[in-house]
């Protein structure tokens, strides 16, 4: 992604599924929330795939195996093979295998997805800090209990190298936002000190794993989180689409620092099938569709009418330009209300 795209949203004259060969899709908050598909996701992805776009699903959730994730997607109506699913468990297993002897024991605090990924790398998962592990790794597991977290803390206190599949503090579920693996990693850090090596988004090991497994030549990262999906795309030097179906709010998007600024923003995955309108400079402001936005002092203002998303795109350009290399601290409440967001 070039610097201009990071600073202000740019347009795309072709539908995104035609402009990019591979969609690197986050799952939670993009395709589904908990056990329910997000509105318009299945139909949009089916159309993109039928048009020749390769769909790859890239998730920081290390609890389930690629086979299990592919099975869920297939039930939703998205026929998917395990080879089309890339997890942070796979990325962290590769990272560990590059730093410990072949066949080494690894204290694994996580679900089946993490255990399978470790075994695929020739590593032996163990359950106790007293099993002489060469490394300790944490991955999300909804059934995790205090005893297993304590084993991780004991191992880290003894100086065992510490790894984490990802450090997402939250995870979207059908009933709301729940604690993610990062919250569990933080519990171990409080007890043992230090910090783990992290493999998942936005860190480079996840991008490397994705490229190795998909062979994407012109990928588009699609996600709902600024600090994982969008930052991961920035770190990998590729374009990104933020969808507003997960944790990121319009206000948070306007306040995003440069690494968290997507090339495109849309309400949901229907945005994958349409051209993205350009945001153009207009005097001391920016215009998109029927809206014109500008920054004056500590306040963002918008005039005009039209699609709310066009207003948001114009506001992003104004806010990010005013902020320069930092996050925007301007008051955007009235401007967002004006465009209906």
Q: What is the mean pLDDT of residues 236-253?
A: 95
d(CA 311, CA 299) in angstroms, rounded, equals 15
Q: Which of 321, 220, 247, 324 is nearest to 279 (CA)?
A: 321
Residue 73 token pair: 């997607």
Residue 113 token pair: 């997805």
d(CA 261, CA 179) in angstroms, rounded, equals 24
d(CA 1, CA 220) in angstroms, rounded, equals 10
Question: Do 184 and 190 form a contact (C-beta atoms < 8 A)?
Answer: no
d(CA 127, CA 155) in angstroms, rounded, equals 11
- Tens digit of pLDDT for each residue in 215-238? 999 999 999 999 999 999 999 999
**297 pLDDT more than 80:** no
d(CA 168, CA 161) in angstroms, rounded, equals 20
Q: Which of 223, 206, 225, 131 is nearest to 164 (CA)?
A: 206
Long-range contacts of 35-40 (CB under 8 A, 24+ apart): 35/174, 36/174, 37/76, 37/77, 38/245, 38/268, 38/269, 39/245, 39/268, 40/268, 40/269, 40/270
Residue 109 token pair: 């605090």
* Residue 243 bridge partners (DSSP): 266
Question: Do 104 and 56 form a contact (C-beta atoms < 8 A)?
Answer: no
Question: Do 6 and 261 form a contact (C-beta atoms < 8 A)?
Answer: yes
CB atoms within 10 A of CB 149: 17
Q: What is the CA radius of gyration of the chain?
A: 21
* Residue 58 bridge partners (DSSP): 86
d(CA 262, CA 194) in angstroms, rounded, equals 32
- Phi then psi for residue 174, to 5 deg, are -65, -25
pTM confidence score: 0.87
**316 pLDDT more than 90:** yes
DSSP at 45: H
Active site residues per annotation: 26, 28
- Tens digit of pLDDT for each residue in 85-104? 999 999 999 999 999 999 99
What percentage of the chain carries pLDDT values higher than 90?
84
Report the pLDDT value the prediction gives residue 129, as an integer from 0 to 100: 98
Report the pLDDT value the prediction gives residue 170, as an integer from 0 to 100: 86
Q: What is the DSSP track for 100-147? A: S-TT-EEEEES-HHHHHHHHHTT-EEES-GGG--SEEEE---TT--HH
Choice among 55-64, 69-78, 254-263, 330-339 with the minimum mean pLDDT:
330-339
- Tens digit of pLDDT for each residue in 109-149? 999 999 999 999 999 999 999 999 999 999 999 999 999 99
What is the Cβ-side half-sphere exposure of residue 271, based on CA atoms within 13 angstroms?
24
Report the pLDDT value the prediction gives residue 329, as an integer from 0 to 100: 66
Residue 168 token pair: 């997402």
Q: Is the peptide bond before 172 cis (omega within 30 degrees of 0)?
A: no
């Amino acid at each position: 992604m070039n610097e201009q795209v990071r600073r202000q949203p740019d347009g795309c004259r072709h539908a995104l599924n035609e402009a990019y060969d591979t969609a690197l899709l986050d799952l939670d908050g993009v395709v589904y929330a908990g056990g329910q598909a997000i509105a318009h996701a299945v139909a949009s992805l089916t159309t993109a795939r039928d048009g020749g776009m390769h769909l790859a699903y890239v998730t920081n959730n290390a609890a389930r195996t690629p086979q299990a994730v592919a099975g869920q997607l297939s039930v939703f109506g998205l026929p998917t093979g395990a080879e089309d699913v890339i997890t942070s468990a796979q990325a962290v297993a590769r990272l560990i295998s590059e730093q410990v002897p072949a066949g080494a024991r690894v204290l694994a605090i996580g679900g089946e997805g993490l255990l399978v990924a470790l075994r695929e790398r020739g590593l032996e998962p163990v359950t106790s800090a007293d099993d002489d592990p060469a490394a300790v790794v944490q991955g999300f597991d909804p059934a995790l209990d205090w005893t297993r977290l304590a084993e991780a803390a004991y191992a880290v206190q003894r100086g065992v190298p510490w790894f984490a599949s990802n450090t997402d503090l939250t995870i979207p579920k059908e009933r709301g936002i729940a604690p993610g693996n990062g919250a569990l990693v933080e519990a171990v850090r409080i007890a043992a000190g230090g910090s783990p090596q992290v493999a998942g988004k936005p860190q480079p090991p996840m991008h490397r794993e994705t490229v190795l497994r998909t062979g994407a030549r012109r990928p588009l990262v699609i996600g709902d989180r600024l600090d994982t999906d969008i930052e991961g795309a920035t770190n990998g030097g590729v374009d990104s689409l933020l969808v507003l179906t997960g944790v990121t709010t319009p206000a948070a998007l306007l306040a995003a620092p440069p690494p968290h600024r997507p090339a495109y923003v849309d309400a949901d995955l229907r945005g994958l099938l349409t051209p993205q309108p350009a945001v153009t400079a207009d005097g001391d402001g920016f215009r998109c569709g029927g809206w014109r936005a500008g920054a004056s002092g500590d306040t963002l203002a918008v005039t005009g009418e039209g699609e709310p998303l066009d207003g948001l795109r114009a506001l992003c350009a104004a806010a990010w330009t005013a902020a320069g290399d930092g996050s925007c601290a301007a008051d955007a409440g009235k401007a967002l209300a004006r465009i209906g967001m």
